[in-house]
């Protein structure tokens, strides 16, 4: 296939998959059907669009950015240049949260596209949630994703710098904050470095400053026996656990991703 060859020659990983996804979008067929259509004919206009998509992918724009959506936890979510492109690793946080008792009220801090809050609300039909972000553009995307998945009536959007504008208590506080270090930013994959908002990737320095803020302020906003749960970089488990324990959280633990690397840190507020 011409598209696969062009992507392979450009050094794009997974060229067959990406070419198939882009062509399926152009012709309006489910990607699973593409292998069943070996003699598929496309119009001149479709061919032009496909070559434009290929050129964007060769320039290291991710497929999700080209299509404007990302599949996450079995659902499609809108992504725009204003939000972090959701990573598969974040599904580990969802899986860990779903092991907890169903919360009455939860908050997603630094919500970006809203994938965490919206996904949890779809899985917990009795829960209420707040999604906050410092970016109004991110909140707009979160709102559209909530509407798409039918949870908009149970989600409140708040523009806030972490807890600054947040009131009340929550049974669950979740966050996937920026955590990439300055050193890691210098070798970051161009698919990420060139297309994700810098503010959503790194807080600078050692990448730990958001966890200090989250842990310090979480106790004032956690209900008794409530849980703070965050995604982390795979080298940050010990440091984030230490931050949580110094802030007075109990039962602090680190959970692995599917590759066995540290990915989620949890801590509880004691009822005593």
pLDDT tens string, the chain, 272 residues long: the values are 788 999 999 999 999 999 999 999 999 988 877 776 667 788 999 999 999 999 999 999 999 999 999 999 999 999 999 999 999 999 999 999 999 999 999 999 999 999 999 999 999 999 999 999 999 999 999 999 999 999 999 999 999 999 999 999 999 999 999 999 999 999 999 999 999 999 999 999 999 999 999 999 999 999 999 999 999 999 999 999 999 999 999 999 999 999 999 999 999 998 76
CATH numbers and ranges of domains, the chain: 2-59 (no CATH), 74-268 (3.40.50.150)
Environment class of 169 (CB within 10 Å of its CB; exposed 0-12, middle 13-18, buried 19+): middle
What is residue 197's DSSP assignment? -
What is residue 129's DSSP assignment? E
Q: Which residues contact 156 (CB under 8 A, 6 or more apart)?
A: 128, 129, 130, 131
* Helix orientation angle between 2-9 and 15-27, rounded to the nearest 10 degrees: 140
Residue 272: the pLDDT is 62
Which tokens go with 207? Answer: 């990448």
d(CA 91, CA 125): 19
Residue 121: the pLDDT is 98
Which tokens go with 71? Answer: 């599949």
Q: Which residues contact 184 (CB under 8 A, 6 or more apart)?
A: 202, 207, 233
Question: Contact at 8 Å (CB) between 159 and 133?
Answer: yes
Residue 38: the pLDDT is 67
Question: Contact at 8 Å (CB) between 242 and 207?
Answer: no
d(CA 56, CA 238): 39
d(CA 26, CA 84): 24
What is residue 216's DSSP assignment? H
Exposure string for 225-250, b = 16+ CB within 10 A, e = fewer: ebbbbbbbbeebbebbbebbeebebe
Tell me the β-bridge partners of 144: none
d(CA 116, CA 210): 17
d(CA 103, CA 121): 10
d(CA 223, CA 269): 7
What is residue 224's DSSP assignment? E
d(CA 257, CA 69): 23
Q: Which of 254, 251, 224 is nearest to 237 (CA)?
A: 254
- Which helix (H) or strand (E) segment holds residue 186: the answer is none
Q: Is 256 helix (H, G, I), strand (E, B) or coil?
A: strand
């Amino acid at each position: 296939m011409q598209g696969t060859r062009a992507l392979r020659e450009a050094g794009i990983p997974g060229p067959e998959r990406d070419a198939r996804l882009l062509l399926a979008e152009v012709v309006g067929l489910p990607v699973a059907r593409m292998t069943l259509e070996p003699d598929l004919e496309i119009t001149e206009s479709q061919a032009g669009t496909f070559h434009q998509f290929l050129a964007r992918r060769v320039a290291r724009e991710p497929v999700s950015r080209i299509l404007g959506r990302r599949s996450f936890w079995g659902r499609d979510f809108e992504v725009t240049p204003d939000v972090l492109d959701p990573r598969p690793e974040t599904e580990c946080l969802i899986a860990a949260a779903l092991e907890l008792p169903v919360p009455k009220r939860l908050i997603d801090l630094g919500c970006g596209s809203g994938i965490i809050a919206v996904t949890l609300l779809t899985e917990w039909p009795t829960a209420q949630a707040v999604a906050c972000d410092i970016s109004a553009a991110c909140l707009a995307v979160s709102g559209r994703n909530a509407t798409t998945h039918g949870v908009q009536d149970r989600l409140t959007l708040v523009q806030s710098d972490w807890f600054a504008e947040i009131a009340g208590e929550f049974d669950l506080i979740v966050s996937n904050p920026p955590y990439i270090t300055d050193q890691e930013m210098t070798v970051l994959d161009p698919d990420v470095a060139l297309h994700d908002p810098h503010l959503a990737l790194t807080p600078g320095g050692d990448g730990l400053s958001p966890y200090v803020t989250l842990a310090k302020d979480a106790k004032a906003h956690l209900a008794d026996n409530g849980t703070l749960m965050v995604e982390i970089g795979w080298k940050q488990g010990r440091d984030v656990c230490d931050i949580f324990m110094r802030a007075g959280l109990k039962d602090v633990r680190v959970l692995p991703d599917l590759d066995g690397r540290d990915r989620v840190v949890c801590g509880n507020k004691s009822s005593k």
